[in-house]
Structure 1
Amino acid sequence: MKYTFRQLEVFLAAAHFQNITRAAESLAMSQSAASSALKELENQFDIKLFDRVGKRLQLNELGRLYRPKVESLLAQAGELEQAFSQHTEVGALKVGATLTIGNYLAVGVMAQYMNSPTQPRVSLEVANTSTIARRVSDFELDIGLIEGELQAPELEVIPWRNDELVIFCSPDHPLAEKRGLTDEDLVSATWIAREPGSGTRQTFERGMHGLLPKLNILLELEHTEAIKRAVEANLGIGCLSKVCLEDAFRRGSLVPLQAAAHRRFDRQFYFILHKQKYKSAGIDRWMELCRNLG
């Protein structure tokens, strides 16, 4: 075999950081050792994987072609090493989740995943749909759990479970006693909404088709708990996943509102994987646990 795994690790690190010094630091190597490893890899096959622009390394067409193949090979090698050292096929996992899923569903799955004799580690990154999709595309996350629709040719988007958004307000809000909301009610209300780029905002805007330019959106917030607190303080009404509102509805600190039947707020949660990502036993186990959620 003409190449080494270390050379491949340097290639991936350089592709990620676009700088050989930072790539070397991430691998606990000297800059000269990392540069030599990358140069040897290219020289052995008489290829160039990067365009050099000053100190910046930019993947060229060939580098972009080989990057997912190298990522997949190293992932399989890492799983084999994990199996050798811990006698298990389920290893460490890097998971990304959008805010609703990350804050209300993923932590329970993490506990189940890590509750095994070998106690495999899970790192969880919580961000909006566009961020999670980008990091899965860049092989920085093994799997993503998202609540927004996505069009990305390099990603496999797999349906997971159904969800719906619910409009809600504080018990003291003037709309709290209404049996159903008209479009006029929606337009006259003050709204506390999720930020653009989130899956929740995407579904909200789809449900509000025809009314969006008329809506009075007072605040756009990234965190569901902040939106709930603002609505409890009677700053406006909100629209979030029923997953994150059930406890508040039971306590009576928030109350659900019903829009007209033609206002649809149903949606799907999805798994996302890079199409060329090696699907390890750990990923399969994670997806199984997610599907078994009540």
Structure 2
Amino acid sequence: MRYSFRQLEVFLAAAQTQNITKAASSLAMSQSAASSALKELESQFNIQLFDRVGKRLQLNELGRLFRPQVEALLAQARELEQGLSRHTEAGALKVGATLTIGNYLAVGVMAKYMKSQPHARVSLEVANTRTIAKRVNDFELDIGLIEGELQSPDLEVIPWCPDELVVFCSPEHPLASQGSLNDEDLLNTTWIMREPGSGTRQTFERGMHGLLPDIEILLELEHTEAIKRAVETNLGIGCLSQVCLADAFRRGSLVPLKVPEHRRFDRQFYFILHKQKYRSAGIARWMELCRAL
């Protein structure tokens, strides 16, 4: 074999950090050792994987071509190492989830995963759909759980389970006493919304087609709990997943509003994986536990 796993690790670290010193630090190596490993990898095959601009390393076309294959090869090697040393089928997993899924579903799955795999470690990153998709695309996350529709040539989008958004307000809001709303009601009120780039905002805008230019959005917030608190204080009405509103509806601190039937807020939750990502036993187990919810 004309290359070493260490050389491949340096290549990936350099691709992620765009700097050989930072790459060396992330691998607990000296800068000179990391630089030598990368130069040896390139010279052994008479190739160049990076464009060097000052101290910055930028993946060139050839580097971008090989990065997914290197990522998959090292993922398999890590899984083999975990299996040999810990005698376990599933190991460490880096999961990304959008806010609704991360705050209300993923933590429970994580607990079950770690309970069924005592030696496993799971890291969970919570962000909006756009951020999670980018992190999966850059191989910084093993799998993503998103609530927004996504088109990407490099990512596999796999349906997981259905969800629905609900329009809601505080019990004291003037609309709370109405049996059902019409489009005029939706236009003549103030909204507290998720930020652009989130799956929830995407579904809301699809359901509100034809009204979007004229609706009044008072606040755009990144966190569902902040939106719920703002609506509870009567700053406006909101639209969030039924998953994160169930407890508030049971307590009576928030109430659902019935919107016109042609305003549809149904959607899907999805798994996303890079098409070149090695499907480890850990990824398979995670998806199995998610589907069992």
Name the TM-score, length of structure 1 as normaliser. 0.99
Counterparts of 2:11 and 2:26 in 1: how far apart (Å)? 12
Secondary structure of 1:261's counterpart equals coil
Whichever residue aligns with residue 2 of structure 2, its letter is K
Counterparts of 2:117 and 2:201 in 1: how far apart (Å)? 40
Within the alignment, does 1:23 sit opposite 2:23 as a pair? yes
Secondary structure of 2:101's counterpart equals helix
Counterparts of 1:152 and 1:231 in 2: how far apart (Å)? 35
Counterparts of 1:88 and 1:29 in 2: how far apart (Å)? 29
Counterparts of 1:268 and 1:286 in 2: how far apart (Å)? 18
Q: How does 1:121-140 map to 2 (within 5 A)?
A: 121-140=121-140
Counterparts of 2:246 and 2:205 in 1: how far apart (Å)? 22
1:212 paired residue number: 212
1:269 paired residue number: 269
1:77 paired residue number: 77
Whichever residue aligns with residue 74 of structure 2, its letter is L
Secondary structure of 2:181's counterpart equals coil
* CA displacement 1:5-35 (0-9 Å, x = unmatched): 0000000000001110111111111110000
Asked if structure 1 preserves the Cα contact closer than 8 Å seen for 2:86 and 2:119, the reply is no
Within the alignment, does 1:255 sit opposite 2:232 as a pair? no
Counterparts of 2:92 and 2:17 in 1: how far apart (Å)? 22
1:290 paired residue number: 290
- Note closer, same or farther for the CA distance 1:153–1:114 as it changes in structure 2 (3 Å cut): same
Asked if structure 1 preserves the Cα contact closer than 8 Å seen for 2:91 and 2:117, the reply is no
By how many angstroms is 1:39 displaced?
Answer: 0.1
Asked if structure 2 preserves the Cα contact closer than 8 Å seen for 1:86 and 1:118, the reply is no
Counterparts of 1:119 and 1:250 in 2: how far apart (Å)? 38
Counterparts of 1:119 and 1:180 in 2: how far apart (Å)? 52
Secondary structure of 2:267's counterpart equals strand
Counterparts of 1:119 and 1:223 in 2: how far apart (Å)? 32
Q: How does 1:44-193 map to 2 (within 5 A)?
A: 44-116=44-116, 118-193=118-193
Q: Where in structure 1 are there 5+ consecutive unaligned residues?
A: none
By how many angstroms is 1:117 displaced?
Answer: 5.3
Secondary structure of 1:115's counterpart equals helix
Whichever residue aligns with residue 251 of structure 1, its letter is R
* CA displacement 1:52-71 (0-9 Å, x = unmatched): 11111111111000000000
Whichever residue aligns with residue 258 of structure 2, its letter is Q
Counterparts of 1:119 and 1:176 in 2: how far apart (Å)? 50
Q: Where in structure 2 are there 5+ consecutive unaligned residues?
A: none
Name the TM-score, length of structure 2 as normaliser. 0.99
Whichever residue aligns with residue 242 of structure 1, its letter is Q
Counterparts of 1:59 and 1:116 in 2: how far apart (Å)? 39
Counterparts of 1:167 and 1:116 in 2: how far apart (Å)? 38
Asked if structure 1 preserves the Cα contact closer than 8 Å seen for 2:88 and 2:117, the reply is no
Counterparts of 2:32 and 2:174 in 1: how far apart (Å)? 68
Q: How does 1:32-47 map to 2 (within 5 A)?
A: 32-47=32-47
Secondary structure of 2:13's counterpart equals helix
Secondary structure of 1:244's counterpart equals helix
Q: How does 1:216-235 map to 2 (within 5 A)?
A: 216-235=216-235
By how many angstroms is 1:89 displaced?
Answer: 1.4
By how many angstroms is 1:116 displaced?
Answer: 2.7
Percentage identity across paired residues of the two chains: 82
Q: Following superposition, which runs of at least 4 residues in structure 1 exceed 4 angstroms of deviation? A: none
By how many angstroms is 1:118 displaced?
Answer: 2.9
State the aligned residue count: 293
* CA displacement 1:92-131 (0-9 Å, x = unmatched): 1000000000000000000000003533110000000000
Secondary structure of 1:51's counterpart equals strand
